[in-house]
Amino acid sequence: MTPNDDDDTKVITFSSDYPDTDYRFLEANQEILDQIKNNKKLVIKGSLTDEAVLCTDDKTFTIRAGHTSNSMLLVSKDTNKIKVALQYHLELTEIQPKLNVLKDLLYSKAIDNSLDFEDDENLLGFSFDEIIDRIQSSEKEIQQYLLKLNTLIYKNRYIVLSENYEFKILELILSEATIGAWKLDNIPIDKCIENIRAPEFIIKHCLQLYSKQKSPTNSGGGGEEIKGGGGDDNNDENICSLDFNKVCIFRAKQLLTLSNKSNMKFEDFMDNWKDTLPIEIQPNFSMLKGIAILIPSSSTNPKEKSVKFINESILPTIPKARFKELFQISTRWSIDDIEPFIKSTIPPGNSLEQFILTYSRPITTSTGEKMIVTRF
């Protein structure tokens, strides 16, 4: 029987430019459809050696090709011509943004001393456009991370202070406090600026970092620029109140990074820690959660403990490798202790307990305490 000759019959032909290899199928989830509907930005990011990601305003998706044994012919409804036959489409999976690269990028140009500001030919830091171009994350995620990294905006560019420089400035501030007999919750800003040989906005930035005020000076994107020659625009009061916790953490990091080659015994560490702090500050080891842990220093005496400094930012980003390294540092962990070190690697949608049990096993010690040990 001859097929009906009506509008429902189409003669399917190949187009004159078949196969047009520029076409792709991109799977669209609800977030992607919303972006398109609102005429917002969709960007594929990655360098030649990276795995490509797709970024919306506030989320990051990895792109993978999903292959099939079938052939999908893309046919135009207007002309009934086949443009291309594909056996794959691009699938999207939401991931945590890849932001450690941003930290490495900024710290590769970290400010190390005050002389960096005097050389006008040398561009300091990175502009926001440069950061967006290189980092495989959405703009909003980048902005949040820039806030978290305590970046400064100097001449429309984002800069960070190296840890050495930051410690140096804070050291000078604390020295001035000792010399001037100031209380740490009553630091006169003007006198700091007078006596410390460093740019004014750097001093203000460091005071801001270690003060009790919660509102950040910088905001990402269209951020507020700190001008070096400014007066008291950012501070109605000329008094700064240092946060004791932050000062303690600063001193502890100093001690632990200086003695990086060997573990420091807990008692020695606490003594040295107290000695470096003003009299009115009493340090507590719980302040160092997420920075250092206590581990047994010898197998003969389990009560003897050492302080182990862990730099979370240099741990592997792959969860399995990170857990492996953490269990090499200490064979058993409490959930409270391990959480700060793995929180940044939890995939969206997973809970903390689910994630921990994927890579470790729970045990109960003889004292009834719940711990986790390696699964592999």
Partner 1 sequence: MQIFIKESTNKKEWFILDLQGHLEYTGDLKNETLGILTKKPNTKDDFSFQIGNSVLVGKRVPLKKPLLVIKKSKLNNNNNSNNNNKMAVDNKDNKDNEKDKEVEYSIEGICNDKIQFTTRPTTFIPQSSVVYGSPTHKSPSSSPKTISPVKVSPTSSPIKNPEFNN
Which is closer to partner 1, CB of 23 or CB of 357? 23
Q: Indicate whether 280 belongs to the interface with partner 1 (CB under 8 A).
A: no
Backbone angles phi, psi at 64, to 5 degrees: -130, 150
CB-neighbour burial class of residue 141 (10 A; exposed 0-12, middle 13-18, buried 19+): buried
Backbone angles phi, psi at 357, to 5 degrees: -70, -15
Q: Indicate whether 54 belongs to the interface with partner 1 (CB under 8 A).
A: yes
In the window 67-126, what residues touch partner 1 (CB under 8 A)? 69-78, 80, 82, 85, 87, 89
**Angstrom distance (rounded) from CA 153 to CA 142:** 15
Q: Indicate whether 23 belongs to the interface with partner 1 (CB under 8 A).
A: yes
Could you tell me how many residues of this chain bind partner 1 (CB under 8 A)?
A: 55
CB 115 to partner 1: min, Å:
22
CB 219 to partner 1: min, Å:
23
CA distances to 13, 19, 20, 24, 69 from 73, in Å: 11, 10, 12, 11, 13
Tokens of 317: 């980003």
| Residues recorded for the chain | 376
**Angstrom distance (rounded) from CA 224 to CA 219:** 6
CB atoms within 10 A of CB 143: 20
Contact between 72 and 25 (Cβ < 8 Å): yes
**Angstrom distance (rounded) from CA 257 to CA 241:** 26
CB 34 to partner 1: min, Å:
12
SS3 312: helix
CB 117 to partner 1: min, Å:
21
Which is closer to partner 1, CB of 80 or CB of 213? 80
What's the per-residue H, E or C state across 194-230? HHCCCCHHHHHHHHHHCECCCCCCCCCCCCCCCCCCC
Pick the piece of the chain touching partner 1 (CB under 8 A) from 22-30, 203-211, 293-301, 348-356. 22-30
The CA dihedral of 221, 227, 233, 236, to the nearest 10 degrees, is: 90
Which is closer to partner 1, CB of 76 or CB of 178? 76
Pick the piece of the chain touching partner 1 (CB under 8 A) from 39-47, 275-283, 289-297, 351-359. 39-47
Which is closer to partner 1, CB of 48 or CB of 181? 48
What is the secondary structure of 233-284 as a DSSP string? SS-SSSEE-B-HHHHHHHHHHHHHHHTTTSPEEHHHHHHHHHHHS-TT----
Pick the piece of the chain touching partner 1 (CB under 8 A) from 44-52, 201-209, 210-218, 230-238. 44-52
Pick the piece of the chain touching partner 1 (CB under 8 A) from 35-43, 218-226, 277-285, 307-315. 35-43
CB 155 to partner 1: min, Å:
15
Mark residues 224-263: x for contact with partner 1 by CB under 8 A, - for none: ----------------------------------------
CB 128 to partner 1: min, Å:
13
Q: Indicate whether 34 belongs to the interface with partner 1 (CB under 8 A).
A: no
Q: Indicate whether 14 belongs to the interface with partner 1 (CB under 8 A).
A: yes
The CA dihedral of 139, 142, 146, 152, to the nearest 10 degrees, is: -40
Which is closer to partner 1, CB of 11 or CB of 115? 11
**Residue from 129, 236, 237, 275 binding partner 1 (CB under 8 A):** 129
CB atoms within 10 A of CB 164: 12
In the window 302-361, what residues touch partner 1 (CB under 8 A)? none
Which is closer to partner 1, CB of 39 or CB of 328? 39
Which is closer to partner 1, CB of 22 or CB of 280? 22
CB 22 to partner 1: min, Å:
4
What does the binding site for partner 1 look like in residue numbers (CB under 8 A)? 3-4, 8-20, 22-29, 32-33, 36, 39, 41-48, 54, 69-78, 80, 82, 85, 87, 89, 129-130, 132-133
